[in-house]
Amino acid sequence: MTPGKLRLDIDTTRDRLLALGCPYAAEHLDHLLAEAVSQAMAPHAFLDRLLEVELSGREGRRVKTSLKMSGLPIGQTLENFDFAFQPAIERSRIDTLATGAWIRNAETVLMQGPPGVGKTHLSVALGTRAVEMGFSVLYYRFDELMTALKVDAGLPPAQLKRRRYMNMALLIVDELGFEPMTREEASLFFRLVTYRYGRGAILITTNKSIREWTELLAGDEVLATAILDRLLHRAHVLNIKGRSYRLRDLEEALQRARA
């Protein structure tokens, strides 16, 4: 076969791959063919390699799109979390949560601790891992979530159920507790928790201990009990105590400035 004829055949194959919706296989066709020839690869092995590249490309695109839609901050992963700085955090518990079993079971993760100890980083990292595993994830800071809940306060149940914060496999609510809720806000939060109970997982980070939730929820002890009853029924509670990462970074910056 002449080089020109071979080039034409490869171009035709690439066009067919594109027509079948396989852009990653088409993009890497030349390289994979050269690899197959140099390694005397069997036809079925070459086909498997071609399909592997296509599937890998599609998975990468899915993860990238899902992360963008989730609202998760970028760059905070389990791999770059400094567990050595925060010995109060049991690495084994985080590794267990990273398997995603609690998300499949629609359970709760409650991370409690003062500002700066790594709650947000861990919540984002677990959310990112969940996206990589194929779960739908949505991240909100609490004030942003409350704004959305207030906008949708008058929606009938059928429409409310279609809201993303209601039907995602995992809802992450970050920074709950910096301001006490009004009675309206507490009621809206109760509605969210009640609907998701048993249907979808929730991860909450908060600077409040459980005994402070009554004060947080407009002083309504009955409502606080009802919310905590649902959240803690099947929950993983992490109490994080330790130094602040932000203060550590500030101290290091000041030391460098003095040097």
Cα angle 225, 230, 232; round to 5: 90
Whether 147 and 80 have beta carbons less than 8 Å apart is answered as no
Query: Do 28 and 112 fall into the same domain?
Result: no
pLDDT category at 125 given cuts 50, 70, 90 is very high
39 falls within a domain: yes
Q: Average pLDDT in the 46-61 region?
A: 95
pLDDT at 171 > cutoff 90: yes
pLDDT at 104 > cutoff 50: yes
Using CA atoms, how far residue 252 sits from 85, 88, 259, in Å, is: 14, 22, 11
The percentage of the chain sitting over the pLDDT mark of 90, rounded to a whole number, equals 82
How far does CA 22 lie from the centroid of its chain? 28
Rounded to whole angstroms, how far apart are CA atoms 226 and 234?
14
Mean pLDDT in the chain? Answer: 91
pLDDT at 85 > cutoff 90: no
Per-residue pLDDT, 254: 47
Whether 182 and 216 have beta carbons less than 8 Å apart is answered as no
Q: Which domain holds residue 52?
A: 10-69
Q: Average pLDDT in the 170-189 region?
A: 96
Helix 221-231 / helix 183-196 crossing angle, nearest 10 deg: 20
Q: What is the largest CA-CA distance in the chain?
A: 83
Q: Which of 45, 69, 93 is the last residue of a domain?
A: 69
Query: Do 167 and 242 fall into the same domain?
Result: yes
Single-letter amino acid, residue 223: L
Per-residue pLDDT, 9: 82
Rounded to whole angstroms, how far apart are CA atoms 54 and 205?
38
pLDDT at 93 > cutoff 60: yes
CA dihedral 251, 253, 258, 259 (to 10 degrees): 110
CA dihedral 133, 74, 143, 100 (to 10 degrees): 20
Characterize 152-185 residue by residue with b for buried, 16 or more Cβ atoms within 10 angstroms of its Cβ, and e for exposed: beeeeeeebeebebbebbbbbbbbbbeeebeeeb
Query: Do 22 and 108 fall into the same domain?
Result: no
155 falls within a domain: yes
Query: Do 87 and 178 fall into the same domain?
Result: yes
Q: Average pLDDT in the 241-250 region?
A: 60
Query: Do 47 and 138 fall into the same domain?
Result: no
Query: Do 93 and 144 fall into the same domain?
Result: yes
Q: What is the CA radius of gyration of the chain?
A: 25
252 falls within a domain: no
105 falls within a domain: yes
Per-residue pLDDT, 66: 97
Query: Do 143 and 108 fall into the same domain?
Result: yes
Structure tokens at 139: 């991240």
Query: Do 153 and 40 fall into the same domain?
Result: no
Per-residue pLDDT, 145: 98
Whether 57 and 23 have beta carbons less than 8 Å apart is answered as yes
pLDDT at 22 > cutoff 90: yes
Structural domain total, the chain: 2
pLDDT category at 61 given cuts 50, 70, 90 is very high
Per-residue pLDDT, 246: 53
What CATH number is associated with residue 144? 3.40.50.300
Question: Is pLDDT larger for residue 185 or for residue 7?
Answer: 185
pLDDT category at 64 given cuts 50, 70, 90 is very high
76 falls within a domain: no
Query: Do 45 and 88 fall into the same domain?
Result: no
5 falls within a domain: no
Query: Do 202 and 110 fall into the same domain?
Result: yes
2 falls within a domain: no
Q: Average pLDDT in the 171-179 region?
A: 95
3-state secondary structure of 189: helix
Query: Do 136 and 195 fall into the same domain?
Result: yes
Rounded to whole angstroms, how far apart are CA atoms 59 and 61?
5
